[in-house]
Amino acid sequence: MNSEKLIALSDKYGAKNYLPLPIVIAEAEGVWVKDPEGNKYLDCLSSYSALNQGHRHKRVIDALVDQAGRCTLTSRAFHNDQLGPFLKLITEVCGMDMALPMNTGAEAVETAIKAVRKWGYTKKGVPLDQAEIIVFDDNFHGRTVSVISFSTEDAYKKYFGPFTPGFKAVPYGDIEALKKAVTKNTVAIMGEPIQGEAGVVEPAAGFYQEVRKVCDENNIVMVADEIQTGLGRTGKMFCMEHYGVKPDMYILGKALGAGVLPISAVVSSEEVLGVFTPGEHGSTFGGNPLACRVAIEAIEVLRDENLVANSCDLGKYFMDLLKTIDSPHIESLRGRGLLIGIVLKESSNGARRFCEALKDRGLLCKETHDHVIRFAPPLIITKEEIDWCFSRIKDVLENVE
């Protein structure tokens, strides 16, 4: 079937909760994808940073196939031989004590909320059902009802209430507002080190160092949602390292499964994750041996291929090239490593038409929040491929009216 027919099919039979660019991806390898007509495109979105290792990394696929030939699912009613090694590896990478595996990012965020609430009631002495979690304006932590309950984005919430109580949002980067929001019932402060969905937004310098202090002084769990920024995307293993801050809990997902299978995890101290007892929380597929095996390989690929360093070096190289573009549309450039946003001017009529023009030149990316073009290629990208991207971006930004 050709692209046109395939798009018509999903338009006719699918709910319209997305507005994809008009391209069908039928095959993929590394940084490249192909449509059914055989046209090639370079993937500069990486499925929102779930493909840090590139499409179908050979080692990950080999591990997947091998594990598929052994055992795929046991449920947590029984042990399996991949879960323990995965937990050991991910806790070492995070420098923490324990991990709890789930499947999607939003599920891991829900798990984090349950963990810090129970910690609050059983360890901090917060009166039952009074726990408060502080989050930031323009946050993105997923799409479940409790998670959208603390979104500040109308489009994510309208018509989906009633919502889960127990959350307060304060302006991102405003340390005074944060301090005012803290009460004796605050159990956690949760944020993204860089807000990806909000348009690659970094808080004011020194903000997360201050958050760390507020957490230490008030016995609050500092939670970093590194689902998008973690695992090398910003040029460090975790984006919080740029600020010299170690949170009390990491939430991971996306690239943890190398774009092959969904797997997510909450990683924290024994003090916090140790609060769960059997039967209180779970997931049928969470911790399944197929996903654990894939995640082990996904992490080892990051390490063995120095993808964190590549993200750092090529991110700088890419950013320096972008700075040379002379375009009336560019308001500013922001980001770290290979997470880069080009912020367009109000007068430029939105980022989407630029993404469409880039698609027509063989480069795939996606607008975020109307006026930001986000670039997040797989971390395996080469310098030559960045040059290839750059010439197309320059052409579009300098020549599209």
Kindly list the residues in this chain that would bind ligand PLP in the complex (CB under 6 A): 48, 104-106, 109, 140-142, 192, 196, 225, 227-228, 253-254
140 is catalytic: yes
Residues whose CB falls within 8 Å of the CB of residue 57, separated by 6 or more in sequence, listed in order: 258, 260, 297, 298, 301, 380
**Smaller CB separation from ligand PLP, 109 or 294:** 109
List helix spans (H) across 182-325.
207-218, 270-273, 289-304, 307-323
**Smaller CB separation from ligand PLP, 105 or 287:** 105
User: Is 206 in contact with 199 (CB distance < 8 Å)?
Assistant: no
Q: What order of strands is seen across the sheet that includes strand 363-364?
A: 27-29, 32-34, 40-43, 363-364
Smallest distance from ligand PLP to CB 16, Å: 18
**Smaller CB separation from ligand PLP, 41 or 250:** 250
Given the residues 86, 140, 150, 318, select the one marked as catalytic: 140
Smallest distance from ligand PLP to CB 29, Å: 23
Residues whose CB falls within 8 Å of the CB of residue 26, separated by 6 or more in sequence, listed in order: 34, 35, 36
Where b means 16+ CB within 10 Å and e means fewer, 211-246 reads: bbebbeeeebbbbbbbbbbbbbbbbbbbbbebbebe
Given the residues 86, 150, 167, 254, select the one marked as catalytic: 254
Smallest distance from ligand PLP to CB 266, Å: 12
Measured from each CB, the residue nearest to ligand PLP is 105
Q: What order of strands is seen across the sheet that includes strand 98-102?
A: 98-102, 264-268, 249-252, 221-225, 186-191, 132-136, 167-170
225 is catalytic: yes
Smallest distance from ligand PLP to CB 278, Å: 25
Smallest distance from ligand PLP to CB 142, Å: 4
**Smaller CB separation from ligand PLP, 67 or 229:** 229
- Residue 391, CA distances (Å) to 66, 301, 321, 377, 394 in order: 40, 29, 9, 15, 5
Given the residues 43, 138, 225, 248, select the one marked as catalytic: 225
**Smaller CB separation from ligand PLP, 67 or 264:** 264
Neighbour-count burial of 76, counting CB atoms closer than 10 A to its CB (0-12 exposed, 13-18 middle, 19+ buried): middle
Smallest distance from ligand PLP to CB 85, Å: 23
User: Is 263 in contact with 294 (CB distance < 8 Å)?
Assistant: yes
**Smaller CB separation from ligand PLP, 30 or 193:** 193
3-state DSSP call for residue 291? helix
Catalytically active residues are 140, 225, 254
